[in-house]
Amino acid sequence: MSVVHADLHYTKTHEWVKVHGDGTATVGITDHAQEALGDIVFVETPDVGRQVEAGDGCAVVESVKAASDIYAPLAGEVVEVNTALADTPELINESAYGDGWIFTLRIADAGAVDGLLDAAGYQAALDAEA
Amino acid sequence: MGLIGPATSCDPRSTPPNRNKPHMLIHEQSRPGRRAAAQAPLYSAEVSDIPVSARRVAPLVLPEVSELQAVRHYTRLSQKNFSIDTHFYPLGSCTMKYNPRACNTLAMLPGFLARHPAAPDSHGQGLLACLFELQEMLKEVTGMHAVSLAPSAGAQGEFAGVAMIRAYHRARNDGARTEILVPDAAHGTNPASAVMCGFVAREIPTGPNGDVDIAALREAVGPQTAGIMLTNPSTVGVFDRNIQEIAGIVHAAGGLLYYDGANLNAILGKVRPGDMGFDVIHMNLHKTFSTPHGGGGPGAGPVGVSKRLEPFLPVPLVVQDGDDYRWVSEHERPQSIGRLTAFGGNMGILLRAYVYARMLGREGMKRVSEFSTLNANYLMARLKAAGFDAAYPQRRASHEFIITMKRETKELGVNAMDFAKRLLDYGFHAPTTYFPLLVPECLLIEPTETETKEELDDFVAALVAIREEARTNPELVKGAPHTMPVRRLDDVRAARQLDLAWRSTANCT
């Protein structure tokens, strides 16, 4: 049973979003996603300073099974990336919601956060998939 | 069912017990001064015309072994192979059919082997006649207007095909067409080829029944659409019933249709991509036309085109002038996308495909698709009856089908990869695992037309037996394979810590 945290927002494509008070948000992939992908062997993070639109493929996570695009859940500017993933991509498997975060965005439109799924909505989406 | 069981310890692939350490590499057997006279060069090469700066200073580190050691090493390596000559090999999407020996024999006739690629056309009329006839047969069976045999692999054929789409739009001064549409079930090479040719790949979803999502396609096409790349039947193993509608939508938007020939075995002699509305196709001769699947080569990936793309075909091509055959080069085809190899393509592979096509004839080609789909549907029906879940149970299989181990993974904790690895112990090459990506815990199974019913029945019995092991002794399955030269490989370590090059350690050689 995969873990879903109540204080995060989610996308149907299995990204999680943690909105901070300063207008930024951190993005990673969910526990369900890391479990489905299996052991992760490579992560390509976006360049800091890159402007992304919601839905843009902006990172790549490669596991022993597949390479998958990670989509920007919100529009904004990439302000920080998790450089530790370059040498230790397994952080995503070990701590999908913590040390395995992928990048942080400065959100272009705070209102867009309301368009994301909450924990209950994401859990419902997972249940529908199962 | 008692006949089936894992290989035993006397299997020739396992390591003999009386050895301290198996020699994985021939270098490990090397001892200074040991020679194999039969393999030594007769004369030293003259190097005085090579600039001093470009000459090797230290001698090359080559294994120093006896002739017998070399023979044993490579014979033992070959015994470790899982190959179509030794095992059922239902690797979905790869069409691992039998490669008839006659194709090898005839392709190696001295007249073919000894011909120099730069010899004039007049000295190779027999070869050119074979190539011309192969072009004609491929044209006929795919319904295309013209064929070039130049691409040396499926991937190069894809590249050539997309390059022709680009050349076509450029010739019309239509620079706005920057996107290639690719269904999410596509082979990964499709978006890669599109990107290599400077396009942006845009994904189209697959509907719940395995067909392309028509509404999403309508939404995606526009003046930016250069074309769509489709495999039909698709990688989910079903024939897209809306192909004519898809062709209409893409053509109406000004785009072209690209047919990935990966699954041509399912429709050979029955339905023609040209009749479905495709403008360009590549064929994998190593799949449909039974040339050997080498470890990455040599291959051949001929391309076929509709009339409007003919000027852009890669060169050289063979044409017939009266009773003579000759090569056509870029001088006569100024709009050609150019050459893909120095000479005419992989002759040995093209000749094998030619012999295969001639042996089959038109009627035989139909039987290929009839028996490959019959075998796939028989196997799918048997596996369904045995309680396995087909990914698209309501659809008839094409020449391959998917079963999903989602339920087994959930209920037994034994996943598709565990089943695949355990199959090796039972003497079967594993099906394709975890592809296509859109079906969880999937095995893509393609039996091909050359397997017997008994072989297919044994495969079903093996999967049933493994499922029983998963219930009673799951660790046995999760730890498989147990009888191979190596156990379960550490995919993660292999990917993260590449170890590809052998280096001589001090005092070793």
pLDDT tens-digit profile of B179-226? 999 998 888 899 999 999 999 999 999 988 889 999 999 999 999 999
Domains of chain B: 103-113+123-360 (3.40.640.10), 368-495 (3.90.1150.10)
For position B4, what pLDDT does the model report? 42
Helix or strand holding residue A40 (H, E): strand A40-44
Residues of B whose CB is below 8 A from A36: 440
Shortest distance, CA B188 to any CA of chain A (angstroms):
10
Instruction: List all residues 6 or more positions away from A36 whose beta carbon is below 8 Å from its beta carbon.
Output: A14, B440
Q: How far apart are the first and last CA of chain A?
A: 11
* Cα–Cα nearest to B405, from A101, A24, A65: A65
- Going from the C-alpha of B10 to that of each of B13, B15, B17, B19, B80, the distances in angstroms are 8, 9, 10, 14, 13
Answer yes or no: do B492 and A90 touch at CB < 8 A. Answer: yes
pLDDT score recorded for residue A1: 65
In this predicted structure, what is the pLDDT of residue B2?
35
User: What is the average per-residue pLDDT within A98-102?
Assistant: 97
Reduced to 3 states, what is the DSSP secondary structure of residue A107? strand
- Determine the pLDDT at residue B506: 47
Q: In 3D, which of B481, B485, B335 has the Cα closest to residue B418?
A: B481
DSSP annotation of B339 reads B
Do B316 and B344 form a contact (C-beta atoms < 8 A)?
yes
Residues in chain A: 130
Tokens for B472, please give them: 């009673």
Sequence-ordered list of residues with C-beta below 8 angstroms from that of B236, at least 6 positions apart, any chain: B185, B206, B210, B391, B392, B402, B436, B438, B439
Instruction: Give the number of beta-carbon pairs within 8 Å between A and B.
Output: 20
Q: List, in order of start, the domains of chain A with CATH numbers.
A: 9-110+117-129 (2.40.50.100)
Going from the C-alpha of B486 to that of each of B80, B90, B121, the distances in angstroms are 10, 21, 51
Sheet with A9-10: list strands edge to edge: A9-10, A15-19, A24-29, A103-107, A76-81, A51-52
Contact A104, A50 (CB under 8 A): no
Q: What is the mean pLDDT of residues A109-122?
A: 93
Q: By the CB < 8 Å criterion, does A64 face chain B?
A: yes
Contact status of A41 with chain B (Cβ, < 8 Å): yes
Q: Which residue of A has its CA nearest to B436?
A: A66
Q: Which of A41, A42, A66 sits opposite B437 (nearest CB)?
A: A66
Tokens 């339920």, located at residue:
B407
- Write the CA distances from B316 to B211, B393, B500, integer angstroms: 37, 46, 37
pLDDT value of position B78: 87
- Considering only CB atoms, which chain A residues are within 8 Å of B491? 39, 41, 64
Chain A, nearest residue to B491 by Cα = A64
Could you tell me where the DSSP H helices lie in B253-291? Answer: 273-276, 285-288
> Do A65 and B434 lie within an 8 Å CB cutoff?
yes
**Pairwise CA distance, residues A64 & A53, whole Å:** 29
Asked if B155 and B307 touch (Cβ cutoff 8 Å), the reply is: no
Give B26-38 as a 3 state SS string: HHHHCCCCCCCHH
Contacts of B437 in chain A (CB under 8 A): 65-66, 68
Judge whether A86 is closer than 8 Å to chain B, CB to CB. Answer: no
Nearest Cα to B69, choosing from B28, B98, B18, B41? B28
Asked if A42 reaches chain B (Cβ–Cβ under 8 Å), the answer is yes
- What are the start-end ranges of the H helices in A2-116? 31-37, 91-94
Distance CA B281, CA B229 (A): 9
B143 vs B232: CA distance, rounded Å: 15
A66 in reach of chain B (CB within 8 A): yes
What are the angstrom distances between the C-alpha of A40 and each of A62, A103, B434? 6, 17, 15
Residues of B in contact with A41 (CB under 8 A): 491-492, 495-496
Of B453, B349, B447, the closest CA to residue B399 belongs to B447
**Nearest CB neighbour to B495, from listed A36, A41, A68:** A41
Residue B495 to residue A90, Cβ atoms within 8 A: no
pLDDT of residue B499: 82
Strand partners, A16: A10, A28
Provide the 10 A C-beta neighbour count for residue B112.
16
ipTM for the predicted complex: 0.71
Q: Is B302 helix (H, G, I), strand (E, B) or coil?
A: coil
| C-alpha to C-alpha distance for B240 and B217, rounded to whole angstroms | 14
Chain B's closest residue to A62, CA to CA, is B495
Subunit contact A41:B440, Cβ cutoff 8 A: no
Q: If 0-12 CB within 10 Å is exposed, 13-18 middle and 19+ buried, where does residue A83 land?
A: exposed
Cα B180 to Cα B196: distance, rounded to the nearest angstrom = 12
Q: Which residue in B437, B440, B491 is closest to A64 by CB distance? A: B491
Mutation pick from A65, A69, A71 vs chain B, by most beta carbons of B within 10 Å, is A65
Q: Residue count of chain B, please give it.
A: 509
**Run of H or E including B232:** none
Angle at CA B122, nearest 5°, toward B116 and B128?
A: 70
B437 → chain A, closest CA residue: A66
Please give the pLDDT value at position B295.
62
Taking CA atoms, B383 is separated from B149, B370, B465, B487, in Å, by: 39, 20, 12, 27
Tally Cβ neighbours within 10 Å of residue A61.
25
Residue A39: which of B434, B437, B491 has the nearest Cβ?
B491
Do residues B445 and B419 touch, judged by C-beta distance below 8 A? no
Contacts 24+ apart (CB under 8 A), A115-123: A116/A9, A116/A10, A116/A11, A116/A17, A116/A73, A116/A74, A117/A9, A117/A10, A117/A11, A117/A12, A118/A9, A118/A10, A119/A4, A119/A5, A119/A6, A119/A7, A119/A8, A119/A10, A121/A10, A122/A4, A122/A10, A122/A30, A123/A4
Helix spans in A23-99 (H): 31-37, 91-94
Name, in order, each residue with C-beta under 8 angstroms of A33's C-beta and a sequence gap of 6 or more: A14, A15, A96
Which pair of structure tokens corresponds to residue B8? 């035993």
Comparison of pLDDT for A12 and B490, the residue scoring more: A12
Of B434, B437, B492, the CB nearest to A39: B492
The pLDDT value given to residue B192: 94
Q: What pTM does this model have?
A: 0.86
Beta strand B303-305 with A103-107 is unpaired
Query: Count of CB atoms within 10 A of residue B317's CB?
Result: 23
Helix-then-strand count for chain B, H and E: 16, 13
Q: Which residues of chain B have pLDDT under 50?
A: 1-15, 506-509
Best B442, B492, B497 residue to mutate vs chain A (most A CBs within 10 Å)? B492
Tokens linked to B507: 């005092």
